Structure 1
Amino acid sequence: MRRATVERKTAETRISATVNLDGTGSYEISTGIGFLDHMLEQLSRHSLIDIQLKAEGDLHIDGHHTTEDCGIVLGQAVFQALGDRKGIWRYGAALIPMDETLSRVALDASNRPYLIWKVEFNRDKLGSMDTELFKEWFQAFAQNAGLDLHVETLYGTNNHHIVESCFKALARALREAIQIDPRKADAVPSTKGSL
């Protein structure tokens, strides 16, 4: 089974995450930031990755450290669970509508992390969460999971729908990229022989 557990303890946060890449999309998530919990639940459900994540952070300051560190820890867990990436499809893409919003994610699980972020908001907060922190989460997740990740909202006006469609598109693209290709389950999907 492709599973991993990662713990991170700093002066700012204490976070533990367990993932099962071959799960059913079950989750137990508690970050102390309600909207972030909701988005990570969407990520789990639509990627079929089981996620257990518990975070305690310095929310009396703001949500920055907790949000970023949740991306770091979850990304590291996915990285470890992927192992040598043998047999994965490697690439994934999704185009996800949510009412008036349409978002697109394309990714390469190449172990060459990069983030392209073309998402704009017209509000500073969703619930108690600063909208500028969503880019921080995606950056931390991509960097630590080893993903070349492109996220773009093509159009939309409702900020909740914009963010949620991005997380759901990530989930569906990730689900595609990490599944095992039965025709090449014994090979790393690269002419170099490693990722």
Structure 2
Amino acid sequence: MIRNTRETEIEVNIDSGNTIIETGDPILDHMMRTLFFYMGRNVQIKCSFDLRHHLWEDLGITIGQELSASIGGRPIKRFGSATMPMDESLILVSLDISRAYFNFQVEFRDAEGFELNLLYEFLWALARTMSMTLHIIKFSGINSHHITENVFKALGASLGTALEESKYTRSTKGML
């Protein structure tokens, strides 16, 4: 999937070989490695950008487009949840790939390049692009690095489950 705007140039290829991540933002590189490791998938990401805000939001959009395309109309488990501990942080991610909604109950003090606004923009862009109901709740945590990384761990585990193939469409309506 390629996204080219006046603000960003982003290319994302999921399950296309070894993981190579070059966003130009070392923190985002780390978070993408975490996300896809816990999702159980390889990814190649290459980006250029003007502002970090545009990078994080547009990468969320592009990954959402790529993951949606990977479903390809096949039945998936649809739901995924993970409660993940990491040092002092405890994060819950619960999701449903069906329609866009975002509940974000995470707070921390920005530090060392870890910015709450960037995390929010990435996640909301991903949720709305994938038509995903996404709940993220922080039960505990102080360190902005631990909280952010733990969100990506739990999100990866939840998406990994939700995107697994299913024998039938998991909906009483018979369709999503």
TM over 0.5, shorter chain = yes
Deviations 1:45-91 (A, max 9, x none): 11112211111111xxx3111110011001100011012241x1111
Aligned CA RMSD, in angstroms, stands at 1.6
Q: Paired residue for 2:171?
A: 190
Matches within 5 A, 1:101-180: 101-110=89-98, 112-123=99-110, 125-127=111-113, 129-180=114-165
Distance in 2 between residues matched to 1:105 and 1:170, nearest whole Å: 6
Distance in 2 between residues matched to 1:55 and 1:152, nearest whole Å: 29
Residues matched between the structures, number: 176
Q: Tell me, yes or no, if the aligned pair for 1:63 and 1:130 is still in contact at 8 Å.
A: no
Aligned with 1:79 (options 49, 65, 68): 68
Aligned-residue offset at 1:113: 1.2
In the alignment, structure 1 residue 66 sits paired with structure 2 residue 55: yes
Matches within 5 A, 1:48-67: 48-58=40-50, 62-67=51-56
Q: Tell me, yes or no, if the aligned pair for 2:107 and 2:116 is still in contact at 8 Å.
A: no
Where 1:126 maps in the other structure, the secondary structure is coil
Identity over aligned residues, as a percent? 39
Where 1:93 maps in the other structure, the secondary structure is strand
Q: Tell me, yes or no, if the aligned pair for 1:28 and 1:51 is still in contact at 8 Å.
A: yes
Aligned-residue offset at 1:143: 1.0
Distance in 2 between residues matched to 1:152 and 1:85, nearest whole Å: 30
Deviations 1:92-131 (A, max 9, x none): 1000000111000000011x011110000122x433x533
Deviations 1:6-32 (A, max 9, x none): 111111111111113xx89x5211111
- Unpaired segments of 5 or more residues in structure 1? 1-5
Higher share in helix: 2
Q: Tell me, yes or no, if the aligned pair for 2:74 and 2:165 is still in contact at 8 Å.
A: no
Q: Paired residue for 1:15?
A: 10
Q: Tell me, yes or no, if the aligned pair for 2:77 and 2:163 is still in contact at 8 Å.
A: yes
Distance in 1 between residues matched to 2:139 and 2:112, nearest whole Å: 20
Specify the code of the residue in structure 2 equivalent to 1:44.
F
In the alignment, structure 1 residue 99 sits paired with structure 2 residue 80: no
Name the TM-score, length of structure 1 as normaliser: 0.85
Where 1:188 maps in the other structure, the secondary structure is coil
After the TM superposition, which parts of structure 1 deviate over 3 Å for at least 4 consecutive aligned residues?
none
Name the TM-score, length of structure 2 as normaliser: 0.94
